[in-house]
Amino acid sequence: MDERSLNLKKEVTKALFFNTSLSIANLSINFNKSIPLVFKAVNELIEEGIVVNSGFASSTGGRRAVIYSLKSGVNFIVAVAMDQCVTKIVLLDIFNNTIVGTIQKIQLQLSGNNDALTLLIKGISSFINDCADKNKIIGIGIGMPGFVDRKEGFNYSFLESHKSISDLVAEATGLPVYIDNDSSLIALAELKFGNGASHKNSMVINIGWGIGLGMILNGELFRGFNGFAGEFSHLSLFSNNKLCSCGKMGCLETETSLLVIIEKAKQGLHNGRNSVLKDQLDNADAERAFEQIARAAQKGDQFAIELISKAAYEIGRGVSILIHLLNPELVILSGRGALAARLWKVPMQQAINEHSIPRLAAHTEIEISSLYQEAELIGAAALVMENFEELNLSYSKSGFSIYENN
């Protein structure tokens, strides 16, 4: 197959991944290619079992167009979502970005752990070796906290290495690997598949063990000059003399991260606060501990509500700064903390009301992510598909595959 024909098939596949289904006319406009050329590429993809006819588009008054989508079970992506405590690995079908099987969790502490990168590579390799369809995997996308240089493949906060993390994982698995900051990937997922898809300017707050930020500006993901934009967690807002993970004092993270909420919960219970949380947090890991707090708050536990409300108010103060600088139309609350759902919204709105100029904040809405905790995994898969054209792929009746796997 000539290179131009293969590249067009890649373009079609990528477009169908991000749009679910499209007509020949839509594809032709997207690529600025002639309808006969696109029609030929789509038909060949249908013959090879990669694309299927999905029926007809909604009527607009004339003849309804035939629409096409990717076929399920043909190609997969390994998506990895890391935070400072837990790493999740899953297989996603590029058809409709569907999770296949169960999400594998690894308790992997990043801070101060010299073995973290070795354990990550071991976990990903083991996961792939256990996949029945591993020859159909076309790439690995990894989201991780910290200062991530996605182009060079380094993380300057965690997973210290003298060699590119992307290259090391690729060498161990034989697959192309792409890495990016976790909050950027959550924002990418929201932009392509979530609440941000219908908004040009959105701020995506990743509430987790830190407080991350992904920025969607003018309909595109904004990463800044060298990819480090969005360090919302380290806005200096407090004179609390608390040392942040970044080495500075008084950052937003020091009063609002889920780890801080858990710490305050344990301290309050130790000091005699009445709560259904009594005896529930002592032996729980961080993930389980926050789940207990969020569920208690949703059931009306006053102490749990107070903990989340105080953190939410302070996050709202930080959002007020974003409103003054960027005037977003939407703030999306995502990440692990979204488990507490609507409990974040009222205190945040109160802080915005108090600290923002009304004219600037009047049309900024706050929404809870519809993608919830799957956002980073979906974003990791989208990262691979964003780079689909550059993947070193062959093409056969069984779909696309990496040349090294042939």
**Residue-number span of the structural domain to which 65 is assigned:** 3-70
Whether the per-residue pLDDT at 338 is higher than 60: the answer is: yes
More confident residue, 394 or 339: 339
Structural domain total, the chain:
3
Helix (H) or strand (E) holding 263: helix 258-270
Percent of the chain with pLDDT over 70: 96
Is residue 159 domain-shared with residue 138, that is, in the same domain? yes
Where is the domain boundary, 40, 70, 100? 70
Q: What is the arithmetic mean of pLDDT over 349-367?
A: 95
CATH code assigned at 256: 3.30.420.40
Is residue 133 domain-shared with residue 97, that is, in the same domain? yes
Which amino acid is located at 324 in the chain? Answer: H
Q: How far apart are CA 331 and CA 340, in angstroms?
A: 16
Report pLDDT digits (tens) over 29-62.
988 889 999 999 999 899 888 999 988 877 666 6
Where is the domain boundary, 12, 38, 70? 70
More confident residue, 98 or 255: 255
**Rounded mean pLDDT of the chain?**
90
Where is the domain boundary, 70, 88, 104? 70
pLDDT band at 405 (very low <50, low <70, confident <90, very high): very low
Is residue 211 domain-shared with residue 337, that is, in the same domain? yes
Is residue 238 domain-shared with residue 309, that is, in the same domain? yes
pLDDT band at 406 (very low <50, low <70, confident <90, very high): very low
Say what the pLDDT of residue 354 is: 96
- Residue 88 covered by a domain: yes
Residue of 174, 144, 176 lying closest to 157 (CA atoms): 144
Percent of the chain with pLDDT over 90: 69
Whether the per-residue pLDDT at 323 is higher than 90: the answer is: yes
> Quick check: 156 and 147 in contact, CB under 8 A?
yes
- Residue 104 covered by a domain: yes
Whether the per-residue pLDDT at 108 is higher than 50: the answer is: yes
- Residue 342 covered by a domain: yes
Q: What is the arithmetic mean of pLDDT over 75-98?
A: 93
Contacts of 262 (CB under 8 A, 6+ apart): 281, 286, 289, 290, 293
Whether the per-residue pLDDT at 272 is higher than 60: the answer is: yes
Is residue 152 domain-shared with residue 257, that is, in the same domain? no
Which amino acid is located at 378 in the chain? Answer: I
Whether the per-residue pLDDT at 18 is higher than 70: the answer is: yes
Is residue 316 domain-shared with residue 363, that is, in the same domain? yes
Q: How far apart are CA 253 and CA 42, in angstroms?
A: 49
Is residue 238 domain-shared with residue 356, that is, in the same domain? yes
pLDDT band at 403 (very low <50, low <70, confident <90, very high): low
Whether the per-residue pLDDT at 401 is higher than 80: the answer is: no
Is residue 400 domain-shared with residue 364, that is, in the same domain? no
CATH code assigned at 59: 1.10.10.10
Is residue 362 domain-shared with residue 276, that is, in the same domain? yes
Is residue 106 domain-shared with residue 134, that is, in the same domain? yes
Long-range pairs for 213-221 at CB < 8 Å and ≥24 separation? 213/183, 213/322, 214/183, 214/184, 214/185, 214/186, 214/187, 214/188, 214/190, 215/187, 215/326, 216/187, 216/190, 216/191, 217/326, 219/191, 220/191, 221/184, 221/187, 221/188, 221/191
Is residue 265 domain-shared with residue 387, that is, in the same domain? no
- Residue 83 covered by a domain: yes
pLDDT band at 64 (very low <50, low <70, confident <90, very high): confident
Say what the pLDDT of residue 285 is: 87
Is residue 65 domain-shared with residue 37, that is, in the same domain? yes
- Residue 250 covered by a domain: yes
- In the numeric block, which tokens belong to residue 113? 């752990």
**Environment class of 287 (CB within 10 Å of its CB; exposed 0-12, middle 13-18, buried 19+):** middle
- Residue 190 covered by a domain: no
Report pLDDT digits (tens) over 371-389.
878 899 999 999 999 999 8
Q: What is the arithmetic mean of pLDDT over 160-186?
A: 94
Q: What is the arithmetic mean of pLDDT over 181-200?
A: 93
Q: How far apart are CA 2 and CA 198, in angstroms?
A: 37
DSSP 54: E
* SS3 assignment, position 106: strand
DSSP 363: T
DSSP 93: E
Whether the per-residue pLDDT at 261 is higher than 70: the answer is: yes
